């Protein structure tokens, strides 16, 4: 986020004959970041007779007109509190600000009205920040992952700004630092983790790890003891990068045909890595049944073809290396749980048939024995009654 550059000097504020000429915003100095856009607004509240006089912006004694990256617009509306007065607003916009734009600007009413001097000025100053990228040392990550003692290394971020020569003593400047985390700004203070060196505008991070990756900004505080020219200018981001890393992922899964598969995978890194999904080494694309969405993969109505090795891959264009995790998915027949039961039932049925046949056969034998005559002797038992002949 670049700073809007407009240094305002509320230079002439006079009420002779009810005239008022101001430049906004209300600062004696205004710092603009090189390459950003400068907006200056001149507001004239005066009588209708004074509206006949031209209202113009001047830069180093040269009138500003539209062209060369500059647009000039003027608006006029009636004063709602006094119909005899009119409010005119003159706005200039200068894109791609350079050091040469850091001069005194004036808003001039074409002619003095009574004792009112129709002129207001504003001093614009330009500052340039040198961008830089930093990276968490990989050896630090390994130490933290293996619970080894912390390294003694430190990460030093420099706020390299130019264009702030104050030999004339026209301004003072100090430095603050902030970290942007999840869209929120957190100002940093001296601690065991952070050391701020105001003299050379540096931030030192002790034992940097993945949790320290993110977006940092230095904040130049101009004239903190002067309310009329107090201003904070935020630099562009200084990014501290960390390579992609898989943090969590699902374990292997055993599912049944026609079930819904859901796999989750989370990754860390800065800038935030993107997650893609693969099956058996081939990228998965969105279909009516397959939905790969960053940290979540959903496949509806599973079939036998869906079994295999699934990978979530975390990557970012700023890094050559990626991180991945593999999950094995098995798909069983939806009747698989029924077959053992049917086998047991079949065994029971066969056993019952065997028992039934055996019992029936045994029953017939018992019936045959019961049907034999009670007085019937065994033929061998009648030998005693036979006379023996010589």
Rounded to an integer, the average pLDDT of 56-60 is 89
If you average pLDDT over each of 141-150, 227-236, 366-375, which comes out highest?
Answer: 227-236
Domains belonging to the chain, first-starting first, are 16-127 (2.60.40.10), 130-236 (2.60.40.10), 244-332 (2.60.40.10)
- Model pLDDT, residue 382: 52
Of 184, 48, 64, 58, which Cα lies nearest the Cα of 121? 58
Q: Please, is 370 exposed, middle or buried when counting C-beta atoms within 10 Å of its C-beta (0-12, 13-18, 19+)?
A: exposed
Under DSSP, is residue 108 helix (H, G, I), strand (E, B) or coil? Answer: strand
- Model pLDDT, residue 285: 93
The 10s digit of each residue's pLDDT in 276-311 is 999 999 999 999 999 999 899 999 999 999 999 999
- Model pLDDT, residue 18: 64
Q: How far apart are CA 255 and CA 335, in angstroms?
A: 12
- Model pLDDT, residue 248: 95
User: CA angle, 333 as apex, 331 and 334 as ends, to 5°?
Assistant: 110
Q: How far apart are CA 54 and CA 49, in angstroms?
A: 12
Under DSSP, is residue 355 helix (H, G, I), strand (E, B) or coil? Answer: helix
**What is the chain's mean pLDDT, rounded?**
83
Res 151 pLDDT > 80:
no
Query: With bands split at pLDDT 50, 70 and 90, how would you rate the model's confidence at 390?
Result: very low
- Model pLDDT, residue 374: 56
Least confident of 219-223, 314-318, 342-346: 342-346
Query: With bands split at pLDDT 50, 70 and 90, how would you rate the model's confidence at 50?
Result: low
CA distances from 341 to 254, 346, 354 (A): 20, 9, 20
Least confident of 6-15, 147-156, 262-271: 6-15
Q: What φ, ψ does residue 145 adopt, rounded to 5°?
A: -70, -30
Residues 6 or more apart in contact with residue 58 via CB below 8 angstroms: 64, 105, 106, 107, 108
More confident site: 137 or 245: 245
Res 327 pLDDT > 90:
yes
- Model pLDDT, residue 244: 94
Rounded to an integer, the average pLDDT of 273-277 is 96
Rounded to an integer, the average pLDDT of 186-214 is 93
Res 1 pLDDT > 50:
no
Q: What percent of the chain has pLDDT over 90?
A: 48
- Model pLDDT, residue 152: 52
Burial profile 310-330: b = 16 or more Cβ within 10 angstroms, e = fewer? bbbbbbbeebeeebbbebebe
Of 192, 125, 121, 188, which Cα lies nearest the Cα of 159? 188
If you average pLDDT over each of 11-25, 125-139, 222-236, 299-313, which comes out highest?
Answer: 299-313
User: What H or E segment, with its residue span, contains residue 265?
Assistant: strand 261-270
Supply the pTM of this predicted model. 0.70
Least confident of 31-40, 71-80, 172-181: 71-80
Q: Please, is 47 exposed, middle or buried when counting C-beta atoms within 10 Å of its C-beta (0-12, 13-18, 19+)?
A: middle
Cα torsion at 112, 116, 119, 123 (round to 10°)?
160
Rounded to an integer, the average pLDDT of 139-162 is 70
Q: What percent of the chain has pLDDT over 70?
A: 79
The 10s digit of each residue's pLDDT in 4-39 is 333 333 333 333 356 788 899 888 889 999 999 999
């Amino acid at each position: 986020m670049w700073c809007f550059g407009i240094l305002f000097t509320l230079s002439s504020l006079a009420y002779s004959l009810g005239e008022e000429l101001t430049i906004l915003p209300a600062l004696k100095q205004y710092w603009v970041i090189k390459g950003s856009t400068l907006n200056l607004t001149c507001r004239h509240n005066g009588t209708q007779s004074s509206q006949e006089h031209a209202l113009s912006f001047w830069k180093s004694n040269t009138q500003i007109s539209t062209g060369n990256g500059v647009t000039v617009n003027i608006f006029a509306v009636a004063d709602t509190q006094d119909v005899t007065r009119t409010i005119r607003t003159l706005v200039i916009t200068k894109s791609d600000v350079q050091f040469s734009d850091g001069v005194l600007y004036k808003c001039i009413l074409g002619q003095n009205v009574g004792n009112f001097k129709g002129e207001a000025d504003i001093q614009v100053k330009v500052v340039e920040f040198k961008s830089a990228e930093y990276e968490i040392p990989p050896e630090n990550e390994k130490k933290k992952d293996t619970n080894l003692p912390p390294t003694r290394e430190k990460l030093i971020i420099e706020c390299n700004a130019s264009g702030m020569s104050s030999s004339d003593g026209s301004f003072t400047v100090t430095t603050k630092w902030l970290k942007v985390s999840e869209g929120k700004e957190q100002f940093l203070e001296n601690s065991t983790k952070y050391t701020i060196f105001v003299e050379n505008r540096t931030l030192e991070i002790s034992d940097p790890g993945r949790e320290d990756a993110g977006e940092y900004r230095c904040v130049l505080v101009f004239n903190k003891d002067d309310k009329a020219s107090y201003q904070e200018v935020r630099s562009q981001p200084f990014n501290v990068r960390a390579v992609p890393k898989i943090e969590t992922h699902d374990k292997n899964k055993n599912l049944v045909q026609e079930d819904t598969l859901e796999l989750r995978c989370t990754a860390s890194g800065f800038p935030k890595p993107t997650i893609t999904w693969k099956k058996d080494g081939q990228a998965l694309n969105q279909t009516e049944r397959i939905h790969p969405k960053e940290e979540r993969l959903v496949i509806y109505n599973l079939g036998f073809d869906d079994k295999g090795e699934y990978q979530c891959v975390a990557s970012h264009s700023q890094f050559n290396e990626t991180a991945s995790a593999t999950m094995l998915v098995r798909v069983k027949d939806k009747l698989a749980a029924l077959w053992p039961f049917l086998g047991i039932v079949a065994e029971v049925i066969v056993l019952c048939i065997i028992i039934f046949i055996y019992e029936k056969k045994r029953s017939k034998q018992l019936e045959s024995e019961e049907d034999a005559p009670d007085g019937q002797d065994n033929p061998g038992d009648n030998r005693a009654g036979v006379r023996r002949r010589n």
